Amino acid sequence: MDLSHFPAANRQADPFRRLRWQPAPPPQNRILRVATAKQTPVVQTRYYKPMRLRTIVLLGIILAASAWGLAGGQGRAQSLAPSPAAAETHEGVTITAQPWTAPADYKPRFPKKTPLTAGLVGIQVAVQNDSAAAVRVNLERIRLVITLDEESRQNLAPLSAEDVADLILKGGSSDPTAKRQRIPLPIGKPKTGRSKEWTQLEDAARAAGVPASVIPPHGKVQGLLYFDLAGQYDLLRTARLYIPEVTDIEKGRSLLYFELELSKAAAR
């Protein structure tokens, strides 16, 4: 009989004394199995940690790329957006001016050749009359004031639709200050001795131009005025559109002159 698990003192004092049974401690191998079973999930997590880390890194890269692409797209959209037109208001009359320096501006009206191909520029002028009386704008007296240097300025008169057609077919002129035809009244007239292409260009220039010089009460008139810059579009950054004669027809008096700075409107 194995007495190793009974107290030694009892065995020496009375070896024949009835021994009391004591439960044996649990086997050590069971403790090891339990510890191993508890540690198994820890070992498994070592396989999943790198996977989660890679997933987080990939998600971060994707989100960063998406944010960069969105910001880049917004930046491109903002760079292509037109600048606000130059504007000025006197006695209920507001005049705005916006130079057209992009070919896309002209394409709906000039599908083949545009004024830009001849070094011309169209300035979209809008006259909003919020007063109770009709007003008249003298289109012939409008001038585009350009600054060549600190001591030299030139006043360019607007071109007629005929001048626009001539210059587009000729490919432009070398002298922007040369005398041109006066802007005709918007009425039809026979065209003789002109090619079909010239007629189409003249019709397009006239249709896109300012249609009338009289603006009724609470009315609006807008269209293009054409000027010959000989392709020197950088001059628009210091140019001004001078409109000296706007008249209240009913009272027969002139309003204050308008002078619109085109520097901000041309920067696009």
Give the pLDDT score at 148.
82
Q: What is the mean pLDDT of the chain?
A: 76
Is 31 in the same domain as 67? Answer: yes
Is 69 in the same domain as 155? Answer: no
Is 43 in the same domain as 158? Answer: no
Class of residue 157 by CB neighbours under 10 A (exposed 0-12, middle 13-18, buried 19+): buried
pLDDT above 80: residue 199:
yes
Torsion angles phi and psi, residue 60, rounded to 5: -65, -40
Segment 22-29 shows an average pLDDT of: 54
pLDDT, greater one: 53 or 239: 239
Which of 138, 177, 137 is closest to 159 using CA atoms? 177
The domain boundary residue, chosen from 55, 81, 107: 81
pTM over 0.85: no
Domain assignment of residue 109, yes or no: yes
Segment 146-156 shows an average pLDDT of: 87
Domain assignment of residue 42, yes or no: yes
How many domains does the chain divide into? Answer: 2
Give the pLDDT score at 152.
85
- pLDDT digits 0-9 by tens, 31-88: 444 444 444 444 444 444 555 556 665 666 666 555 544 344 333 333 334 457 899 9
Is 204 in the same domain as 229? Answer: yes
CATH number, domain containing residue 98: 2.60.40.1230
Give the pLDDT score at 64.
58
What residues make up the domain containing 117? 83-266
